[in-house]
Amino acid sequence: MIIFTPFPVHKEDVPVSALRPYALRCDHRTTPLGIDEPAPLLSWRLASDLRGDDPTAYRLRVAERPEELADGGRPLWDSGRVEDASAIGAVYAGPALRARTRYHWRVEVWSAPDGAPAGAESWFETGMDVPSGPAGRTGGSAWRASWITHDPDPIDVMDAPTEGEHALDDHGLAPCPLLRRAFSGTAAADGVPDTAGSAGSPLVRARLYVSARGLYEVRLNGVRVGDAELAPGWTDYTRRVQYQTYDVTELVAPGENVLAATLADGWWSGFVGFEPRRAGAHYGAFPQLLAELHLTRADGTVSTVVTDDTWVTHTGAIRHADLLMGECHDLRRAVEGWELPGFDAGGWPPAQVVDADHRLLTASVDEPVRAMAEVPAVSVTRVGADTHVVDFGQNLAGRVRLRVDVLAPGARVVVRHAEVLDDKERLYTANLRTAAATDTLVGDGRRNVEFEPRFTYHGFRYAEISGLPELDAEDVAAVALHSDTAWSGSFDCSDPDIRRLHACVEWGQRSNFVSVPTDCPQRDERLGWLADAQVFLPAAALNADVAAFFTKWLRDVDDARTPDGGFPNVAPRLAGVADEGAPGWADAGVVVPWHLYRTYGDPRFLSRALDGMRAWVALVHRRNPDLVWRHRVGPHFSDWLAPGTPTPREAVATAYFAHSTRLTALAAEALGRHDVAAEHHGLAARIRSVFVERFVTVDGERGQVRLAGDTQTGYLLALAFGLLPEDLVDAAARRLAELVEEAGPALRTGFLGVALAAPVLDAHGRADLAHALLRRTEVPSWLFPLRHGATTIWERWDGWTPDGGFRAPAMNSFNHYALGSIGEWLYRGVAGVDQGADSVAYRRLYVRPRPGDLTHAGARYESARGTVAVRWRREGGSLSLRLRVPPGATADVLVPTTDPGSVRELGPAPGDGGHATLTGTGADHARYRVASGSYHFTAAFAPAAQPPAGLQEEDTP
C-alpha cells in the first residue's frame, strides 16, 4: 500500500533551509555507466523551505577528476555563471568526450545575485564509442570483439523418447548455450594488449561491455555481473542492438579468472507475437554473445579480453528458455563449477565466430529490467495428490521462485501460470492463446533446491505447482520484473475503491513496462502497441519517471518508420503484425514526444522527433489531399473495444490528422522553426474546417450540435483536440454530457476515447459526471472489475461477468493498461496536481482540486523541477488545502469553495513579498497566484446541491 506523504523529505537535501539542487541526472539517469551521447543533458531538481526562493543563475563544471571541480581547478568544461531563472538542466557544450572515461560534474545555483551558490556533484561514464556528433563516430568502431555462439547445428545421437524421462515439450527450442573464457587477473599480456606497461602493475579499474543477440547473463568467477534481467532488452535488431556496461573491478582476482555467460533466445530467436505463420525467430535463428572486458592498471596498462574463438562452449541445465513458452531446468544436465576458476573445460569445443559487425551497437539509454519486488503467497490450496494452486494476491509480470526440499532423479515439478481462476477454482489459461507459460524443474536427487527461471517472464496472479506432495506458503514467492523506472508519484483519497483503482493502474504499468511499453504480459503478444502507450503516457509519467524509458522506446518507434514516413502500429517492428500505421496508433509518433517535452522540459524529445512528425503528417496529407483521412489507414482499429455504436472511422482518423498536425506545429514553434510551425498551423486549421464541414451538423434553432455517429468518443475527440468553432463548443459539451447520462451515467468508449472522458467533462464544467463515472460499479466501469477481484486493469470493460463468464479468449487480457488512463485525472482532477496549457516541466502549476463527494485526497509528484504536492481535506463545512510549489515555479491555485469570500491563506500575509495574491473569484472558487514554497488555504465548503458551475474561460488550464 502506498502511504501518502504530502511533503516528502529527500535524503539528498536534509535539512533543507535555502535553495539547493538535488536528484542530479545525466540524460535522465542517475550516474549512468556507459553512455554514447556526445552532448548529454545534465539536469537537477531544486528544493527550498523558503517561499519565493527561486533560482536566478547556474554554473556547470565537468572534469575527469573530481578535484578539478573545485574553485581554482581546471575543469574540462565550465559554463560560467549563466543567468537563467528557469533552468533545471543544460546540454554539455565542452570539448569532445573520450570513450570509456568517467566524468565528474558539479552544478551550482544562485537564488540571490550576490549570495553564495548551493551545489551538488555527480558523475557519468562514457561507453565503448562516443559519436563526434550527427556525422558519425570518431575513428571508426573501437570494438574488437566478435559475435560468438554455441554450435547452432549439433548432430545428436537420437534415442526413442521414454515417457516421463524425455517427454518434455521443448517447443522446438534448443538448450541455452554456456560460454566461458579463462584469463589472468595478474598479467596484462593474457588479454589483447592496448597500451604498453608493466604486467605486474596493480589493477585499478575493470569494465565489462556486453551485449547479445538474444538474452545474456554473465558471471565473473561465479559471481553474477550486475542485476539486469532480460538484457540487453528488445530492439529491432536489424536496426539497433543495445549493450550494457558494468563495473567489475572488485570481481577480478589475481591469478586465474573466468568470464562466463549463459545465453537464451529472448526476443531475437524465441517466440514473439501472435502471427501463426511467423511465431518465432523473427530476427535470428540462435543466440549470440559479444563482450569485451577492459582491464586498466595503475601504470596505464590496458588489456582486453574479447569474445572470439578462444572461448569454449557447452550446454547445461537450462534445456530451453523462452519468453512465451517458459523455461526448463534439468538438474541432471547441470555442469557444476563451469563458471569458476579451476574447472577443466578441456572437452568443451571452441565457440563459433558468427561475425564482427559492430555497426548497430549502441549504449543503453534507459535503466534495464530488474527484479523489483517479491510478492509472498497469500494462500496455497491443494487440488490434487501432488498439485497445488498458489494465489499471490496480485496480478503481475515476473516469475515464481520455488524452494524444493528434495526431488528424485528424473522427477519433475511443473509450474503453470494464469491471471484468473475458472468456475472450478483451477487455472484459466484459454486467454494465453499459444503461450505455454510453463516452467519445469527436473530433479537429480539433490536437496534444498531453489528454482527460479532466468530468461522468461509470465503475466500471472496464480500458479499451479504439480509434482510436490507438500507445499508451504513460505517456500514459494512471485518475483515482479519490470523496467526500473523510479516511482515519482503517489495518490491517496478517502474512498478505498478509488485507492484500489489507483493501485491497479500502478500494477498495470509495472507489468507492462518491460523493456518496451507492452499491451499485456501474459498471452502470445506482449508487443509495443503505439496507441496503448500514447493514451496511457500521461498517467504513466505521473506515476514514474519514464523519461529514459521512453527515450529508448522512441528510438524503437523511429527505427520502425517506413521509407515513406509512416509510423508503425507496434515498436519494435515485428514482421506481419499490422505493419501499416492506423489512426490513433501511428499518431503516437507525434503525441508521445510532445507530451514528454511538456513533462520533462527536454527539447531533444522534439528535435529528435520533428523530422518524423513532419514526414508522418506529409504522408497522410499526400494520401488524403481532400483532408478527410480515409486512405492509408492501415488496419484502422478506430476506438478499439468500445461498447455500443461505433464512431465513424473517418471521423476518428480526421480528428487525429488535425491533432497530429497541430502538435507538429507546436513542436516546431518550441524549437524556433517558425516557418515549419506556420505551415502546419495553417494545415491544421484547414483540416479543422473540413472536419466541421464533413462531420458536424448544426441545428441553430434548437441550439444543437450533432457529430457523425453521435457517439461519446466523437465528441470527446472534437472537444479535446479543439476541432470545433467556439460557438459550437458549449452545445457539443452538453451533448456529450447527455450521452454519458443516458448511458447510465456510463462510458461507451474504447482505448482512444477513455483517456479523454474525465478531463473533457471536467474542462466543460461537468466534474460531477467525471466523479460519477469514477464511482460507478456496474459494467462498463473501472470499479466493476475491482468488485470481482481485479488487481490490475482489464483489457475489456466486461472481460468477465457473472452472467456471461469470460469473454472471447482470443482477446481478453486481465492486465492491460490502456483503460487505466483514468490515472491521469486522479492526479490532475481529483487531487489537483496539474500544469497550465503553456507550461513546460511544471514551471506554471495549475492547482484546482475537484472534491466531488470525497472527504480528502492528495498527490505528490517529483516533477523535473522539484516536488509538487497537493493535499486537501474537507470537514464539516470547511475545506483545508495544502500545497508545495517547487523553486522556479509559480502556481495558479483555484481553492474550491461555496463562499469565495471565506478563503484564507494561513501563511505570511499576502503582501509579505507578494508570494500569494488573490487574482479573482468565481461561483465555486477563489483564484490565487502563488510563488514557490508551501501554502495552506482554508475556505467554506458546504455540500453542493447541484453540479458545480462551469469554468470561465480564463480559468481553463
Catalogue the active-site residues: 525, 795
- How far apart (Å, rounded) are the C-alpha atoms in residues 473 and 462? 13
Question: Cα angle vertex 928, ends 923, 931, to 5°?
Answer: 165
Residue 758: left if φ>0, alpha if ψ -120 to 50, beta else—which one?
A: alpha
- How far apart (Å, rounded) are the C-alpha atoms in residues 285 and 214? 10
Helix (H), strand (E) counts: the chain = 15, 52
Contact indicator for 669, 677 with CB cutoff of 8 Å: yes
Residue 753, SS3? helix
β-strand partners of 730: none
Phi, psi of 348, deg, nearest 5 = -80, 135
Contact indicator for 676, 696 with CB cutoff of 8 Å: no
Phi, psi of 638, deg, nearest 5 = 55, -140
Residue 204, SS3? strand
Q: Distances from the Cα of 931 to the Cαs of 833, 836, 891, in angstroms?
A: 16, 15, 7
Residue 199, SS3? coil
Determine if the peptide bond prior to 947 is cis (ω within 30°): no
- Exposed / middle / buried, residue 909 (Cβ in 10 Å: 0-12, 13-18, 19+): exposed
Element (H, E) at 123: strand 118-126
- How far apart (Å, rounded) are the C-alpha atoms in residues 657 and 717? 11
Contact indicator for 692, 683 with CB cutoff of 8 Å: no
- How far apart (Å, rounded) are the C-alpha atoms in residues 560 and 570? 8
- How far apart (Å, rounded) are the C-alpha atoms in residues 534 and 536? 6
Closest CA to 828 of 734, 737, 740, 763: 763
- How far apart (Å, rounded) are the C-alpha atoms in residues 680 and 81? 38
Closest CA to 262 of 134, 159, 184, 174: 174
